[in-house]
Structures are given as C-alpha cells and as structure tokens.
Structure 1
Amino acid sequence: MHSGRHYSIKEFLIWTRRDIYVLFVLATIPTVIYQVFDIKCIAIPWVAIALIGTAAAFIVGFKNTQTYNRLWEARQIYGAIVNSSRAWGIMVRDFVEEDKKIHQELFYRHCAWLTALRYQLREPRAWENMTKSYNLEYKKFFTVSEEKIPLEEVLQNYLTSSEQTYILSKKNRATQLIALQSNHLKELYNSGKIENFQYVALEKVLTDLYDHQGKCERIKNFPYPRQFASLNLFFIWLFVFMLPFGILNEFQKLGDDFVWLTIPFSVIVSWLFTSMEKVGESTENPFEGSANDVPITAMSRTIEIDLRDMLDEENLPAPIAAENKILM
C-alpha cells in the first residue's frame, strides 16, 4: 500500500515508460507514412475511432470499479481479522484462569496463524502480475518479507518445536493452527479451567477466524474473470493502434505542419487509456505482493503488538515501517 499523498509523476512515468515507447512507435509510423510518403488513404474517419474509444472507456471503467471492490473487500476482511484478534485476546485473558503460560501459548499460536495466513496469501498464482517486467522493476523500492524470510524462521518465534514440525507438515497451515487452538480450548474446558459458556464464546471467535480466512482465500484463489480482463486488454490496444489513423485528418485541417502533432497527442491519449488498464491490473490481486496490496504484514504486526501488550510484555516488536512510502 502506498502510504504517501500520491505517486509522483516520475514514479508513474517510470512504471509505464515501456508502454510510452510502444505508443510512440505506433503513432510515428502512420504519421510518417501519411506525411512523408503522401499516402493519405490510411486515414480513418474520426467517428469510427471515437466509437471504439467510447467502448474502451466503458470497459476500463467497469474493470477498475470491480478491481477496486476486490481490494476494498480484502481490506475489510483484514480489518475484521484485527477486530476478532483483539476480541480473542481479551477473552483469553479474562476467561482463562490466571495462568500466564496458557495465555502466552494461545496468544503466540494466534500470531503463528497470522503468520501462516499471510505467507499463504503471498504465494504466487498463475494469473497474478508480479512477474511482469515493470512490476519487478518497481519491486526494487520495497521488500516483501514473506519472500525474503522463510516461514520456518518466523514460526519458531511462536510455536514449540513439536508444534512447528507438525504445522510445517501440513498443506494448509493456517487451518491447522486454528484446529490446534480449538483442541487446546477443549483441554482447558475438560480440565475445568474455563466454563461452558466461555468455551462456546472462544470457539465462536475461532469460527469467525475461519470465516475471515476463507474470505481471503476466495479472493486469492479466484481471479478477476479472465474473459473480462482479456476483453479490456483487447479493446484498449485496438483503440491505441487505430487512434493515430483517426486524428491524422483532424490535424491536417489545421495545415500540413500540424500533422506532426498526431504523434504527441496520440501518445498522450493512448497513455491515459493504457495507464488506466495498468492501474486496474495492479489492483485486482490485493495479496500478490505489489506496491498496491493490502498491508497484511503491517496489520499482522499491529495485532501481535496488541496481544503481547495484553501480556504486559516489555520488549514489544516495532511496527512495520513504510519503505519508500510502500507499506506491506
């Protein structure tokens, strides 16, 4: 997540510069053919181009609205995880008998769940966009910790060696960590350390966490429909390709020398459309590890700080800081 006021125009131009190079070539070739080689028949009536541009604008607007909805839903889900985590903390602290060791086990295992979940959400999918050259290049400005630090190294801060070995042997580790929490609650109930209604209330929080996890997995594992994404891409580039052919005659009406303005104006208009397409593309997968992700690493650290503060620990971890205004 970009945590500044806005992206600078320099950042945006660097991010989209490869498109600008292509757009410049696409605008220059028909202009040279039209003006230098005097082949006027390549010009297309502007009305036809305007119709394609209108359709492209509708489609790109639809896509950007839907991808923003995916991003916002993901942020709402993680907000619910924050709330449920705090509820888990106060209920464990107040319901379970005064036993700091048990409190710590339940709190730390919850931090392990947060860790396992964010690692699972950062795993790449075939339809995600972080392997594209312009995204890889921009990734130099920030760090995705889940790609740098092995899961095993982080989990050892929260789990016993036996629990860590067990969890790492599982496919869906976050799911199994909640199952461990539930089993621990059952043991506490059977030993009389929590009452029936307390046991039910704590299990309800675990059920809520499963619900939040499932919603995250739905967004992660079901992409923005490929048919809509493909149609958007085709229409944008069809419009970009045809645009210079449509405005040649318009600038010709101003005089022969003005025909060369086709190049800069085609590049500018086309850049607006391709940039809107890129913005939608960079928003559609809110957990892929891009600069526009939901900051699940920072939010998980916030939860960990809150829970460990409830334990009255003194050496709390520092909040995750933005790196070059990018908060992960």
Structure 2
Amino acid sequence: MHIGRQYSVNDFLAWTRKETQWLIGWALFATLFLHVSTLNFLTVPAPILTIVGAALAISLAFKSQQCFARCTNALTLSEQLNGSSFILAERLISATCELGDVPSGARLEDMFYRHFAWLTSLRFYLRDSRSWENRFDAGNIRFLAKIPSPESTSALDDELKNYLSDDEVQKIMACSGDKESLILDWQYEALRKLRKQNLISEYMFIGLIARLDDLSRLQGGLKLIKNYPYPRNYYSIAVILVKMFVAIIPFGLFPFAYELGKSAGIADWTAWLNVPFSVAVGWVFVSLEKVGENSSNPFEGNANDVPISSIARRIEIAMRGMMGESNDLQPIVAKSDILF
C-alpha cells in the first residue's frame, strides 16, 4: 500500500512505459499513413469518437468503483483481524492465567504462538499468485524488483518454525487442504481439552469458541476476495473498449490537427500534432483502466495492496507484549512509501 502523499508523474510514466510506447508507435503510424496517402475518407467522424469515448468513460467509472469497493472491503476485513486477535488474547489470558496443570498444546504460550502461525500461513496464502492477477505485468515487475514483499523473500515452512515444533510444521506443509484451517482446528481442540478437564467454565469456553469463529469468518471473507476475481465480463469489455478507442483516436483527431494550420498554410506541419494529441488522450484512458485493474486484487503483492504483512506483524508484537514476553520484533516499515 502506498502511504505517501501521492505517486509522482515519473512513477506513473515508468509504470505505463510499455503502454505509452505502443500509443506513440500507433499514433505515428496512423498520422504518417493519413498524411502520405491523403485518404481522408478513412478518418473517424467526431460523433463516433464521442460515442465510443462516452461508453468507455462509463465502463471505466463502473469498473473503478467496483475495484475500489473490493480493495476497501479487503482492508476492512484485514484490520478486523486486530480486534478479533486482541479479544482472543485477552480472554485466553483471563481463562488460563491461574491454571496450574494445563494439558500440552493448551497452554497460553502454545495458543498464542499457534495464532502467530495462523497469521503467517494466512498472509502467505493471500500473497500466493493467481492467473488473473497483475503481479507479472511489466510495469509491476520493474517497480517491485526494488521493493519485494516479505512473502516473496522467505518460505512458509521457515517462518512457521519460529512458532511451531518441527512435527507440527511437517503436518502443516503436508496438508493438501487449507493450512490455515488446520491451525484453527488445533486451537479448537486445545479449548475442548481445557473444557473436558473442567479447567475453564462453560461460559468461558463458549466465549473463546466465539472468538475463534470470528477468526474463521474473517479468514473466509479474505479468501473469498483472493480466490474470485473482479468479474471477467466487465473486465473484458473495458479492455476491448479501451483498445478500440485508442485505435481510432489518431483517425479521429487528425482532421482537427490538420485544420489548425490550414489557414496559415502550415497544415502539413500541424498535422503531426495528431501524435501528441492522440498519445495524451489515449494515455488518460489506458491509465484509468490500469489503475482500476491493479486495485481489484488487493493481496497479489503489488504496491497498491492491503498491507497484510504489516498488520500481522503489529498483531504479533502486541500479543507478545500482552503475554509479557520481551522480543526484538519491529514493525514493518515502508520502503519508498510502499508498505506491505
């Protein structure tokens, strides 16, 4: 997530470099073709350019709003991990602080560390790639080569070893299903052990189970956003309209560029203004489409993602402090205004 004031113009130009090169190349070709061939009947009437542009603007506005809603929903669910985690921690402390003979796996430290493992497994899952995501887009690859996400520079099993035994790590890595759900199952089982031995009351048991239910629901909501893309039909029509509009822009603006110098006898020169005019108009619509699309997958590991890594780290630091444990963990800091 970009936490600075704004992206600079140079950032945007570098991010859209490939698209800008195509726009310049196409505008030069179209202008040269129309100017040399004098086939003026191939120009596009202004009303057609207006109609297609209006349809495209409406399509991009709808897409941007929906993509922004996905991103906002993902951020809301991610931040709710804070509250649910702290409530679980407080209730675990209240339930186990005076217990003596606690069964293995149900100690306060065990459940706290298992929660850290759950957060780690969840963030690695959310950072995993999907076929519809944009992390391998040329502009994103160049940008993220300098500031990779924490999950792209480490392995899940290595991270889990900080919280779980080698045997537990092997069980998680061998699990073909949801690794996060397996860790939550262990948390449920630990609470059942405490209740079975009458170490906690029925009321406390129900309260703790409710907190785990909250975490399970949050996990499901985050995975829903991760596993299902912005509807491909809306995405496809936006891309088709952008390509169509960009293709006809030079043929629609050429007559206006030519007319600018006709009265002064320099129409052959002003006709080449069609290139910067076409590139500028095309870049606006291409960039709007790209901004919307790169906001639709808020966990793919790009610069505009939800900072799930930072959120998980803050939760771990706070819960370790609640447990009275001293540690050297530091919050994840932004690099070049990008926070993961």
Any unmatched runs of 5+ in structure 2?
101-105, 262-266
Tell me the amino acid that sits aligned with residue 120 of structure 1.
Answer: Y
Any unmatched runs of 5+ in structure 1?
none
Tell me the amino acid that sits aligned with residue 82 of structure 1.
Answer: N
Of 142, 145, 149, 1:144 maps to 149
Verify: 1:296 aligned to 2:308, yes or no. yes
Q: Which residue of structure 2 aligns with residue 187 of structure 1?
A: 193
Q: Which residue of structure 1 aligns with residue 37 of structure 2?
A: 37
Verify: 1:109 aligned to 2:121, yes or no. no
Structure 1 stretch 211-220 or stretch 41-50: which is displaced more? Answer: 41-50
User: Separation in 2 of the partners of 1:145 and 1:199?
Assistant: 36
1:59 CA displacement: 0.5
**Can you list the C-alpha shifts for 1:4-38, whole angstroms capped at 9, x where unaligned?**
11111111100101111110111111211222332
Q: Which residue of structure 2 aligns with residue 228 of structure 1?
A: 234
Of 125, 143, 151, 1:120 maps to 125
User: Separation in 2 of the partners of 1:177 and 1:144?
Assistant: 24
1:77 CA displacement: 0.5
1:254 CA displacement: 1.8
TM-score (normalizing by structure 1): 0.97
Of 148, 151, 160, 1:155 maps to 160
User: Separation in 1 of the partners of 2:40 and 2:29?
Assistant: 13
Q: Which residue of structure 1 aligns with residue 247 of structure 2?
A: 241
**Can you list the C-alpha shifts for 1:272-291, whole angstroms capped at 9, x where unaligned?**
00001110111111111111
User: Separation in 2 of the partners of 1:110 and 1:302?
Assistant: 13
Tell me the amino acid that sits aligned with residue 4 of structure 1.
Answer: G
Partner secondary structure for residue 302 of structure 1: helix
User: Separation in 2 of the partners of 1:295 and 1:309?
Assistant: 22
Seq. identity, %: 35
1:99 CA displacement: 5.3
Structure 1 stretch 97-106 or stretch 155-164: which is displaced more? Answer: 97-106
Q: Which residue of structure 1 aligns with residue 103 of structure 2?
A: none
User: Separation in 2 of the partners of 1:90 and 1:4?
Assistant: 34
Equivalenced residue count is 328
User: Separation in 1 of the partners of 2:190 and 2:166?
Assistant: 17
Tell me the amino acid that sits aligned with residue 173 of structure 1.
Answer: K
**Can you list the C-alpha shifts for 1:23-75, whole angstroms capped at 9, x where unaligned?**
01111112112223323222121111110000011101111110111000000
**Can you list the C-alpha shifts for 1:114-143, whole angstroms capped at 9, x where unaligned?**
001111111111111112222111111212
TM-score (normalizing by structure 2): 0.94
Partner secondary structure for residue 3 of structure 2: coil
Question: RMSD between aligned alpha carbons?
Answer: 1.4
User: Separation in 1 of the partners of 2:13 and 2:192?
Assistant: 57
User: Separation in 2 of the partners of 1:219 and 1:89?
Assistant: 27
User: Separation in 1 of the partners of 2:204 and 2:298?
Assistant: 36
| Runs of 4+ with >4 A deviation | none
Structure 1 stretch 97-106 or stretch 255-264: which is displaced more? Answer: 97-106
Verify: 1:309 aligned to 2:326, yes or no. no
- Whether contact under 8 Å (1:308, 1:316) holds in the other structure is no
Q: Which residue of structure 1 aligns with residue 216 of structure 2?
A: 210
Partner secondary structure for residue 32 of structure 1: helix
User: Separation in 2 of the partners of 1:6 and 1:98?
Assistant: 51
User: Separation in 2 of the partners of 1:43 and 1:173?
Assistant: 59
Tell me the amino acid that sits aligned with residue 281 of structure 1.
Answer: E
Partner secondary structure for residue 141 of structure 1: coil
Structure 1 stretch 254-263 or stretch 301-310: which is displaced more? Answer: 254-263
Distance 1:99 1:148, change over 3 A: farther
